[in-house]
Chain A
Amino acid sequence: MNIVVLVKYVPDTQFDRHLTGDNHRIDRNESILSELDEYALEAALALTDARGGVKAGNKVTALTLGPASAAAAVKKSLQIGATEGVHVSDDALAGSDASATSLALAAAIKTLGPVDLVITGMASTDGETSIIPAQLSARLGLPQLTFAASLEVEGSTVTARRDGDDVTEEIQATLPVLVSVTDQANEPRYPNFKGIIAAKKKKVTTLSLADLGLSADAVGPAGSLTQVVAAAERPARTAGTIITDSGEAGIALADFLAAQKLI
């Protein structure tokens, strides 16, 4: 199987995150491989492991789009077990919205030859829009099995379970397909020492816009169809009244709710 996994280098959610500059872009210091992409990578590795791994001709390509620092997301993916990496990097890409990003990602995937599966996380943990998988599916003409809480491939049939608020759906498609997986899909593995050493020898290809056949005005602010025109930091919440229960805290809670006109 030839699988492409999208991996994104995003600001670590453990720290305060900031918008910066006149364009209100995300400050990308303190970034890591997006936690939700680890589920996508695991889904790909589990599928290839079950089919005899690299020796049997299976391949997992970790694909990222981002500035030079984003290569770290590819490196981490290689350490976890991806076969090779692709880094789409071009100054003109900075400030791309979802539409421009999905355009460039689709072009990058097309350079990788016939692909059986494109697997993504359910959302990035920075923009959190979760629209890239559906846009990629539309641009690549692949069926989308999105928000998969479970994923099975038998022969060329892919089956996924999708849990909604009031209904659980089982969906099916024939390879090639695009899948996005939720954090319920699996338990991601961690890189081990052997993996870290092996990653150093793995191939990473860097692609520019020219390699994708795109012009600079198709992406970045010029190619984006949305703009953030204003941003304001929300005042941090501060602690209110804290009491320690001495047997009457439930009544104090009712008092508080009554004072707030919530009961």
Chain B
Amino acid sequence: MRAIVVFIDQIDVPGTLHPTSHQLLTLARAAGEPVAVVAGPVSGELAADLGAYGVTRVLHSEQPDLADYLVAPKAELVAQAAATVSAAAVLLDNGPQGKEIAARVGVALNAGVITDAVSVEPVDGDLLVHKSVLAGSYTVAARASSAVAVITVKSHSVEAAPAAAATVPAVEAIQVAFAPASLGARVVQRTPRAATGRPELEDARIVVAGGRGVDGDFGPVEELADVLGAAVGASRAATDAGWISHSAQVGQTGKKVSPQLYISVGISGAIQQKAGMQTSKVIVAVNKDPESPVFEIADFGIVGDLFKVLPQAVEEIKRRRA
């Protein structure tokens, strides 16, 4: 069977497997024989987790260069490991790092790179990738014509499922030959950000996002998010005003989200904002201005004061659950 490489980062996100890795391994199993390429150590626990998803072969490296430099050494690990196993495809997560590793692996292996996949189906020995383009206004199917396909897959594109029978993977350490140019961009400092305890925007089933209308006070948005178990997002106006971290920004230049439910609060819904959220399954909008463009795409819209509507909704949801 054709080897399908899944890249797994145990340096920046050590410990157990990220849910996205489970999804990628499930996809790899459907397309061929999953091979895990791990940057960092492979603990017994990690090997067992990989085995539960049907991985028979793990290639890994603990060379310190993988942690000390930005992206390029990890891309060399993936490219050299993929060549070793004659991989038919390389799957990575769709975050900034995953995409950049994909980009460089594409150059190293002369392979086509397809990003932002929302589903990948094996068709006649080929992988057909579905994605949405032009801010969600089109869906396209794309394929790579190269010997190896490099695909970055969005979270929740695949439902993770363990293999019918667990395997015991063979774990091999490999020695990556790093090109001098790959050791050019050194990471001199890493500062962890304080965890919010809320789900990540791109992984969340529900997103509550605030904009200019919150006028500096994200309290009501956060309270609604917490009662719904949602992630908190923001428009560019709100992040530029410094009311919330830029990492919360949803839109053309921020995160693209596609949750089950997107609640837009105090956001007019200019086209750049729509671009980041209009593939959400259900859209709810709360805004004082009845002319806000967001009402043109909302499944349920409330023209009203968010400082009254949101607390009332929070109380009502709590009451119903009590």
Binding site for B on A (CB under 8 A): 13-14, 16-19, 24, 26, 35-36, 97-99, 102, 122, 125-135, 137-139, 141-147, 149, 159, 162-174, 177, 182-184, 224-234, 237-245, 247-254, 256-258, 260, 262-263
Contacts and interface: CB of A to CB of B under 8 A. Distances in A.
A240 B301 contact: yes
A163 B247 contact: yes
B50 interface: no
A237 B283 contact: yes
Given A17-B135, A228-B140, A258 B320 contact: yes
Given A99-B113, A234-B136, A245-B304, A134 B252 contact: no
A19 B12 CA distance: 38
Contact of A145 (B70, B272, B312): B70
Contacts of A99: 106-107, 110, 112-113
The 3 A-B residue pairs whose C-beta atoms are closest, nearest first, are A250-B312, A143-B184, A245-B304
B181 A142 contact: yes
Contacts of B102: 131
Interface residues of B, number: 95
Interface string B125-154: 000100011111111111111100000000
Secondary structure call for the B interface: mixed
A263 B317 contact: yes
A226 B103 CA distance: 13
User: Chain A interface mostly helix, strand, loop or mixed?
Assistant: mixed
Contact of B115 (A129, A162, A173, A232): A129
Nearest to A126: B134
Contacts of B301: 239-243
Interface in B140-174: 140-146
A146 B71 contact: yes
Interface string B90-107: 000001110110111011
Given A13-B252, A146-B71, A168 B193 contact: yes
A263 B116 CA distance: 29
Contacts of B111: 225
A142 B184 CA distance: 7
B320 A263 contact: yes
Contacts of B143: 226-227, 229
Interface stretch (B26-34, B37-45, B289-297): B289-297
Contact of B320 (A18, A165, A254): A254
A103 B220 CA distance: 50
Given A229-B128, A250-B311, A262-B206, A170 B188 contact: yes
B298 A227 contact: no
Contacts of B186: 171-173
A135 B106 contact: yes
B62 interface: no
A103 to B, nearest CB: 9
B275 interface: yes
B290 A138 contact: no
